[in-house]
Amino acid sequence: MLSTNPHRNCCIRPAPLGYNAPRGVALSEDKIIAIYPGSFDPVTNGHVDLIERASKLFDRLIVALLLNPEKDPLFTVEERVEMLKEAVKPLANVEVDTFGGLLVEYARRKRARVLLRGIRAVSDYEYELQMALMNRQLQPEIETVFMLPAEAYSYLSSHLVKEVAQLGGSIRDLVPPAVEARIRAKVKSSQ
């Protein structure tokens, strides 16, 4: 059966017969749900680039923000969700959500078959490999898919964006305009 996502029919085939869906994971051959998890503190143009690319491959993409009380984020969960929602507004098959606990459990509840992660450089690989293999160990039928952002964003990270902004540098081409304004406001209020 052809996918309802016109971009996907040429690229990814439906799950082959015999594909063993994990309990609770949809075996609806015509719909592939992917989850793009992360901290997104804040969302950068690199994240947005990856989301745009993935929205063309998967029928439904859930950008899932980790609720992690241990980290000390610059933005609250609500602020990060707002910024993400603003950034993905033009993409009809992309939604924003939050999750806590194990990622694979969240994916199972959402009936997602794919975990999406971006790899910018070789340095990302080791950490991503560990996570992907751990997630596979926990839930073998959920696949991690790695995608590359545009080369222009291969050096970009939320951490560096925050550092540059805090030290007065320009972040104009690094984050969506609404995010830039919010970072500026945060930096100003903390000075």
Summarize as ranges the residues that interact with ligand PNS (CB under 6 A): 37-39, 66, 102-103, 131, 134-135
In the complex, what is the shortest distance from the CB of residue 17 to ligand PNS, in angstroms, rounded to a whole number?
Answer: 30
In terms of CB distance, is 64 or 165 closer to ligand PNS?
64
Nearer to ligand PNS (CB atom), residue 102 or residue 150: 102
**Rounded to the nearest whole angstrom, what is the least distance from the CB of residue 23 to ligand PNS in the complex?**
18
Q: Which of 13, 23, 71, 172 is an active site residue?
A: 71
| Residue number with the smallest Cβ distance to ligand PNS | 38
10 Å Cβ neighbour count for 147? 16
Q: Which is nearer to ligand PNS, 77 or 134 (CB)?
A: 134
Beta carbons of 96 and 85 less than 8 angstroms apart: yes
Q: Backbone dihedral region of 40: left (phi > 0), alpha (psi from -120 to 50 degrees) or beta?
A: left
The CB-of-3 to ligand PNS minimum distance in angstroms stands at: 26
Smallest separation, CB 129 to ligand PNS (Å): 11
Shortest distance, position 36 Cβ to ligand PNS, whole Å: 9
Catalytic one of 60, 110, 113, 120:
120
Q: Which two tokens stand for residue 53?
A: 């690319």
**Pick 36 or 58: Cβ nearer ligand PNS:** 36
Integer CA distances (angstroms), 57 to 6, 20, 115, 177, 180, in order:
9, 21, 13, 26, 28
Which of 8, 108, 113, 158 does the annotation list as catalytic? 158
Q: Is 7 a catalytic residue?
A: no
Residue among 38 and 149 whose Cβ is closer to ligand PNS: 38
Query: Active-site positions?
Result: 47, 71, 120, 158
